[in-house]
């Protein structure tokens, strides 16, 4: 299964060169925000379908994919949200449907809080931020020496790690795994990944105070929210979906059977149909 790609385009924000993909010419705009260790490529199975009805933008956040990975950058979800809002300004996007997977979901929540009624809708696909429990490997990455060892690029570890978050292995192509591994070898990739994890997580899990503050922002959201989760997600278990629903004023939840941490890839057709209906 060959991956579907779009032409690389570039924006400069605060001196940082950022890659994005864009397709479609509709007045309705969707922004797709990837998770940890990912890039625009996480949306390769979604962009063409969604672009039938909307202008679709996918971005490599600072520190990921082909975007710059500067030392000293604030890699927290709040600052990533600020940067993405500046990219929307660069692209002259006023109103937007926000869609995020994993870390990208948490960034999307921060954006929705900042944008107010400019965020027409919010879609959380296996999003971080629902609860404080975090994967043990990420907790260990907060330790000075162990963190560097755990995030050192290793092809076998990389293959096993990504395979573990999919139920249907046929949906995880070798091309996708290889590109993720090559991205992990880019200068600055390891340091930016560690900085991202450490901005959110400590040895106990997601930082409690940050989660409490995030939940207050979630409760204040007026926008419609679509929550999509895989019932077999090994990283952020499905109970996180119920936590989000309990915090939100206006949400609907869809649980995908036999699906892991990347529903937009593993069950792309179902994901695309749901999202298209939701934002119509």
Domains of the chain: 9-279 (3.40.50.1820)
At residue 151, the pLDDT reads 87
At residue 199, the pLDDT reads 94
CA distances from 179 to 71, 103, 182 (A): 23, 19, 5
Which phi and psi (to 5°) does residue 152 adopt? -65, 130
Q: Output the six-digit token pair for 254.
A: 């869809």
Q: Output the six-digit token pair for 83.
A: 């940067």
Q: What percent of the chain has pLDDT over 90?
A: 88
pLDDT band at 42 (very low <50, low <70, confident <90, very high): very high
At residue 148, the pLDDT reads 86
Nearest partner of 107 among 86, 84, 87, 126, judged by Cα: 84
**Sign for the pseudo-dihedral over CA of 255, 258, 261, 262:** negative
Per-residue pLDDT reduced to its tens digit, 190-205 = 999 999 999 999 999 9
State pTM to two decimals: 0.96
Q: Output the six-digit token pair for 91.
A: 């692209």
Locus of tokens 């940082």: 16
pLDDT exceeds 70 at position 269: yes
Neighbouring C-alpha atoms within 13 Å toward the C-beta of 198: 16
Average pLDDT estimate for 103-123:
98
Q: Which residue has the higher pLDDT, 29 or 161?
A: 29
pLDDT band at 258 (very low <50, low <70, confident <90, very high): very high
Residue 87 near residue 11, CB atoms below 8 Å: yes
Nearest partner of 229 among 111, 101, 133, judged by Cα: 101
At residue 217, the pLDDT reads 98
Q: Output the six-digit token pair for 228.
A: 């999509």
At residue 157, the pLDDT reads 87
At residue 11, the pLDDT reads 97
At residue 117, the pLDDT reads 96
Average pLDDT estimate for 90-108:
98
Calculate the average pLDDT of the chain: 95
Q: Which residue has the higher pLDDT, 151 or 257?
A: 257
pLDDT exceeds 80 at position 1: no
CA distance 275 to 272: 5
At residue 215, the pLDDT reads 97
């Amino acid at each position: 299964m060959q991956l579907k790609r779009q032409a690389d385009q570039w924006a400069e924000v605060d001196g940082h060169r950022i890659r994005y993909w864009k397709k479609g010419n509709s007045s309705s705009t969707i922004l797709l925000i990837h998770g940890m260790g990912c890039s625009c490529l996480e949306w390769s199975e979604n962009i063409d379908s969604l672009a039938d009805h909307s202008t679709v933008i996918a971005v490599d956040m600072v520190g990921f994919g082909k975007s710059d990975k500067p030392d000293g950058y604030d890699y927290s979800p709040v600052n990533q949200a600020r940067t993405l809002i500046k990219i929307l300004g660069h692209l002259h996007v006023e109103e937007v449907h926000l869609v995020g997977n994993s870390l990208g979901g948490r960034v999307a929540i921060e954006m929705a809080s900042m944008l107010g009624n400019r965020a027409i809708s919010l879609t959380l696909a296996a999003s971080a931020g629902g609860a404080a429990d975090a994967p043990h490997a990420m907790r260990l990455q907060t330790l000075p020496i162990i963190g560097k060892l755990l995030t050192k690029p290793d092809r076998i570890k990389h293959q096993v790690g990504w395979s573990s978050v999919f139920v249907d292995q046929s949906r995880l192509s070798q091309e996708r795994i290889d590109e993720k591994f090559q991205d992990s070898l880019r200068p600055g990739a390891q340091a930016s990944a560690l900085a991202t994890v450490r901005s959110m997580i400590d040895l106990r899990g997601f930082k409690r105070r940050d989660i409490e503050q995030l939940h207050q922002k979630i409760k204040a959201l007026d926008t419609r929210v679509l929550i999509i989760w895989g019932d077999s997600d090994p990283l952020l278990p499905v109970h996180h979906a119920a936590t989000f629903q309990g915090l939100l004023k206006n949400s609907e939840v869809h649980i995908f059977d036999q699906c892991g941490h990347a529903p937009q890839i593993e069950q792309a057709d179902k994901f695309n149909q749901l999202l298209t209906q939701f934002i119509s």
